[in-house]
Amino acid sequence: MTLLGKKGARGATFLLVATIVASCGLPRSGPGKQEIFNGSVQKNGDAYIVSVDNRVTRATSAQPALGFSQEFLNAGLSVADVIKPGDTLGLTIWENVDDGLLASAETGTSNLDEVQVDSAGMIFVPYAGRIRAAGNTPEALRQIITSKLDSQTPDPQVIVRRLAGNGSTVSLVGAVSAQGVYPIERPTRTLSNMLAAAGGVAIEPEIAQVSVIRGNMTSKVWFEDLFTHPSFDIALRGGDRILVEEDERSFTVLGATGGQARVAFQTQTISAIEAIAQVGGLNSNLADPTGVFVFRTESSNIANDVLQRSDLHGEQRMAYVLDLTEPTGMFDARDFIIRDKDTIYVTEAPFVTWNKTISALTGSLASANAIASAAGSN
């Protein structure tokens, strides 16, 4: 009776532990491959599950394009040398006498900095009076000032420079080496040249985006596209605001990978295989290479194209599955483009769940045997 009681106690304990382990959720990084498939629309779920192949890769390859609108592209180069009301000028005057009208005796020169062109387009120069500056180039204004001073001081030499002002300037802010307000001059009439005047971008060129705000219009381009697409190197206008900022797109990687993180884009485009590589690749002890999923919300146009339908309307939840063990699996992962806010999830291999179950059983049974032995000895 006592012996039967010991066996009965151990058997009952084994059945109890097995039942508990089977009914309780084991620790894991997320749902398994089959659980995801069970949540598909085909099984009354809320997401379409699609195996990635060449056709799907092509249908999902579209990326939101950056580029200037026609209003920006059609704007011609401004006549940068023409002075306008609001401009600020710098004048330097040399006189060929020891005791000049304006020049100091030590240097023979006079610097008139920040001479403001008023709303009527006029400036005031001592001994030359009020002079119309607006509508003239710096060279034409130099000749006018020289002729007015020539009758009062022998052979005056004049230099006129356009400085920062309200008439023809742009502001540069964000990730540039030298933020500030810059005049539009002949060498800086285009966007790339103005950025160069500000010291260039202060972030990696591959992820730099340049926005130009003109009145109530705003357009954005990739910095590198200014050089690969010459038409994007647009002409600037007075009052333009230029903002340089880092690409804010990101994706999330979860599951059986070398790391789980929110990852910022480091290039304009990134493939699924590159995205996984950025977090250390698949975890060789855990990952199921047949269950690499990319979750995203697609527009109805792309969803209809992917599913070869025409009846879907509005945004659709999509789960794209990559099987890296297929003959073309690596090529599909290399060509499948990751987009902003995508979630990449790698499922655990089935044997991992099995090992966890066995470990839980053997660990629990060891404790149960100890308890049963103690109970039987009493």
Across the range 148-152, mean pLDDT stands at 86
Q: Report the pLDDT value the prediction gives residue 368, as an integer from 0 to 100.
A: 47
Q: What is the pLDDT of residues 198-227, one digit of tens each?
A: 999 999 999 999 999 998 999 999 999 999
Total-model pTM: 0.67
Residue 354 pLDDT = 44
Query: Position of tokens 């307000």?
Result: 181
pLDDT at 2: 47
CA nearest neighbour of 232 among 370, 74, 126? 74
Specify which residues 255 forms β-bridges with.
Answer: 346
| pLDDT tens by residue, 35-94 | 888 888 878 888 999 999 999 999 999 887 788 888 888 887 766 667 888 888 899 988
pLDDT at 26: 58
Helix (H, G, I), strand (E, B) or coil at 31: coil
Q: Exposed/middle/buried for 216, CB within 10 Å: 0-12, 13-18, 19+?
A: exposed
Instruction: Express as a percent the part of the chain with pLDDT over 90.
Output: 50
358/227: higher pLDDT: 227
- Integer distance in angstroms from the first to the last C-alpha of the chain? 14
List C-alpha distances in Å: 376 to 2, 10, 11, 216, 366: 8, 10, 13, 86, 15
Better pLDDT: 207 or 166: 207
Tell me which of 103 and 271 has the higher pLDDT.
Answer: 271
Q: What is the pLDDT of residue 13?
A: 55
Closest C-alpha among 324, 291, 336, 317 to residue 29: 291
Residue 1 confidence (pLDDT): 44
Which amino acid type is present at position 333?
A
